[in-house]
Chains A and B, each alone.
Chain A
Amino acid sequence: MSKNQAPKVAIYDFTDCEGCEVELISLKEKLLVLEKRINIVDWRLGQEAKENGPLDIAIIEGTPITKHEVNLLKELREKSKVLIALGACACLGGIPAIIDKRERFKWYKKIYGEKYRPRGIDALPLAVYVKVDFLIHGCPVNGDELVRILQDLLAGKIPKYRGYSVCFECKQESNPCRLLDKKSCLGPITQGGCQAVCISGGSPCYGCFGLREDPNIKALLKILDDITDQKEIKRYFTMFLKRIKND
């Protein structure tokens, strides 16, 4: 396929850490293979070249926190056939969403002083503003998942979400169950695809892959109630899932 016929792809980053793009670059040889099948017409982190026309696929990382980003998001939606959210900030609001709108203004004053005119409005998922065709979850995204999903998209398919929770992959990794060990965990209600990387490293699961289909939150809350206090439960549910109701 010549570059002219290849799907036109743009990669954008809104407010975030850009770690998901680092995962993308870290695909190395696999990125080269994918790159041959697409025409990247706009990618600020990767290149200076920039084309404006309609897009086949817009991949957006980060949360649209400034007015400029919200407007750009709406414009990208209009000119793209498929719009993909890349990573927890785009899918869920991410870590920046821990602070809500009202609190933001208190912190602007504390961190920047009284005279400062802030740019950020509120950290929300892309789906609050526009229709998103697929969410590539994770903080950061998982490299293998990224390849699987991009390959599906290039084959003209809308990719599928993992129909199971983190627990399934956690068992495959032979990790002892945190809940059985009386440690808090959001694995049972969180969509798989991460290969339980945090739990395998000894850290908790805070649900960065978003809720799985039909999550049994009530049952998990009952278990967590026996393990810990309400404050900790709240902290777990506000690490990545605070804005989930906005979906």
Chain B
Amino acid sequence: MIKSDFIARIEGHGNLNVNWSERKVQLNVLEGERLFEGILVGRTAEEMHWITPRICGVCPTAHNLAALNALENALGIKLSQTTVLLRDLMMAGQMIQSHTLHLFFLSLPDYLGIDRGTELAKKNPALFKDALSLKDVSDYIVKIVAGRIVHPTTSTIGGFHKIPTKQDLEKILGKLEQTEKAAFKVVKLASSLDYPELKVDLELVAQVNDLVVSVSSVNIKGRKQSSIANYKSDIEEEVKSYSTAKFARYKGEVMLVGSLARLAVSGYSDQSYKLDFANPFHNNFAQAIEILYYHQKATNIIRKLLKSKLDSRIVKPSKSPSLFGIGVIEAPRGGLYHEVRLDKDGIIKQANIITPTVQNLSSIEKSAQALLNQNKSRSQKELERLLVMLVRAYDPCLTCSVH
């Protein structure tokens, strides 16, 4: 019998290796290497944003947009306002898609005592209906704007091959209005869940415009920041013998990226919710808050688009572009970095990609260790359950991490 004891209900293949006598934890990532940075070399610029979404089927739109951002920087392209808004709309849809999938199908079963997400249909039909309606509206946004719910077809360097009509946008708006209540209910649900206790000192990191900003999980008042241009030296990757994914740190510190980090960096504070930035389990709570945030953001973007004249122009490259570009985006799981160098014929000479999960791996190990240290009286069985639940709370995409 071939053993395949990978952690269930996470994206990709990995497991936590616990040495119970020494109480030491190791996170093994065992995903097969696809070598996307190699796949891209020799391909055309136009193929980069086609190929990179295939890094991850849960956040393909984020990889599509990060690649386009890198390419457009390399080619000196400044986008039209319509394109900027439509891409923000695609990304808002992507955030809700990914968070809904993760919360309801991968993480929530832990809190609700079920195994498969669809069991919720029997256990709590109203909640399940809300979950499906949020998945539905976000799939609809991405399908209308990006052409398909997984792996975009409409976006291109400098704009879109095709843009939605105002009637299309009005249809999305209608669906958003019908589902806003569901988004509020998800936050309410997340605020009522019983999160295991945990306190970890981590550097919470998020992109803010051209900057990488970080705050401490135990004191979010003090901010550090650095330029995105230095991402490669500031977010340092390390190769581990037990993992096909590299492990990153931010300026030497163990870092956490994603929903919880974004809310901390944005200075989010709502006294009615007791969001705890030092407890990585609260990443699930933060994802619920973000579902509502991106739902409302999508509505606002559409209202803006409907008031403006839609500009379907595709912007051409500048006359003397630098041919080197860094593209960034806050993907559902955190800051995503794509880098590209082109030759004068538009062929890719070099590419580099740092995914959010790579930045979370050291932190998963540290938090798992903290969980063991802070729960000395619990049984091994209980701890095993909590450790797996903790890994899931991070929403790791091991597929992305081994790209």
Contact = CB atoms under 8 A, between A and B. Distances in A.
A181 interface: no
Interface stretch (B52-60, B188-196, B206-214, B303-311): B52-60
A16 B399 contact: yes
Interface size class of B (residues with CB under 8 A): 35 or more
Interface in A60-77: 63, 65-66, 68-69, 71-72, 75
Interface stretch (A159-167, A194-202, A210-218): A194-202
B321 interface: no
Given A95-B39, A103-B38, A68 B54 contact: no
B132 interface: yes
Contacts of A203: 50, 147, 153-154, 156, 161
B124 interface: no
Interface stretch (A1-9, A28-36, A127-135, A149-157): A28-36
B58 A111 contact: no
A118 to B, nearest CB: 6
B4 A72 contact: yes
Contacts of A119: 30, 32-33, 244
A169 interface: no
A47 interface: yes
B139 to A, nearest CB: 6
Interface size class of A (residues with CB under 8 A): 35 or more
Most buried by B among A18, A40, A49: A18
B399 A201 contact: no
Contact of B55 (A17, A63, A65, A198): A17
B125 to A, nearest CB: 11
A108 interface: yes
Interface of B: 1-2, 4, 6, 8-12, 30-35, 37-39, 43-44, 47, 50-51, 53-58, 60, 101, 105-106, 115-118, 121, 132, 135-136, 139, 146-154, 156, 160-162, 239, 241, 244, 246, 399
12 contacts: A14-B32, A15-B33, A16-B399, A19-B151, A26-B150, A28-B132, A68-B2, A98-B39, A103-B38, A120-B34, A201-B162, A235-B44
Given A45-B9, A111-B33, A120-B34, 7 more contacts: A19-B54, A23-B150, A99-B38, A119-B30, A119-B32, A120-B33, A203-B161
Interface of A: 14-23, 25-26, 28-29, 31-32, 35, 40, 43-50, 52, 63, 65-66, 68-69, 71-72, 75, 94-96, 98-99, 103-104, 106-108, 110-113, 115-120, 123, 139-140, 197-198, 200-203, 206, 235, 239
